[in-house]
Amino acid sequence: MSKKILVVNGPNLNMLGKRKAEHYGTLTLEDIEEMILGEAEKAGLKVVLMQSNHEGEIIDALHKSMHTCDGVIINAGAYTHTSYAIRDAIELIELPTLEVHLSNVGARESFRHKSVLAPVCIGQITGLKSYGYIAALYALKDIFEKGGI
């Protein structure tokens, strides 16, 4: 049976296309989600897509994924730097989780250098713009096939 991945996009990512192109590229979230769906099909993976500007909704989606998905890709937007609640949700679901950022957070303001999610994620893909989600898909596929990294 195909493995299923929850792809979470957090606050302000619904505004992609209107945000600074030098950081985030020019694609809208719909464009990126279409790309993810196409690539997942090629890779033989199923994906569930969600975006929310609300911390609690992201936590609810993570809880639900515990019984319905095999892995998670999350771009938590600015919650990456602040949300211990999302961090705890990722920890408790015990699914392989990859953190994605469109921009190169390490090359930006210092408040973006710290991720409170990083300690409970397998790894971080940052600065590859929309390709980061595709890289994350294939990394998870590999992890599913090999049973680890």
CB of 67 to ligand DQA, least distance (A): 27
24: annotated active-site residue: yes
Nearer to ligand DQA, 11 or 91 (CB): 11
Name which of 36, 19, 37 is nearest 28 in CA terms: 19
Closest distance of CB 95 from ligand DQA, Å: 20
Least separation, in Å, of the C-beta of 24 and ligand DQA? Answer: 6
Minimum Å gap between C-beta 117 and ligand DQA is 10
Closer residue to ligand DQA, CB minimum distance, 21 or 78: 78
Q: Which among 23, 24, 63, 84 is annotated as catalytic?
A: 24
- Residue 63 catalytic? no
Backbone region of residue 103 per phi and psi (left: phi > 0; alpha: psi in -120 to 50; beta: other values): beta
Residue 145 CA neighbour count, 13 Å, CB half: 9
Choice between 51 and 75, CB closer to ligand DQA: 75
Give the bridge partners for 3, in sequence order: none
Which phi and psi angles does 31 have, rounded to 5°?
Answer: -60, -45
User: Secondary structure of 62-125 in the HEC alphabet?
Assistant: HHHHHHHCCEEEEECHHHHHCCHHHHHHHHHHCCCEEEEECCCHHHCCHHHCCCCCHHHCCEEE
- Residue placing its CB nearer to ligand DQA in the complex, 31 or 144: 31
Binding site for ligand DQA (CB under 6 A): 12, 75, 77-78, 80, 101-103, 105, 112
Residues marked active site are found at: 24, 101
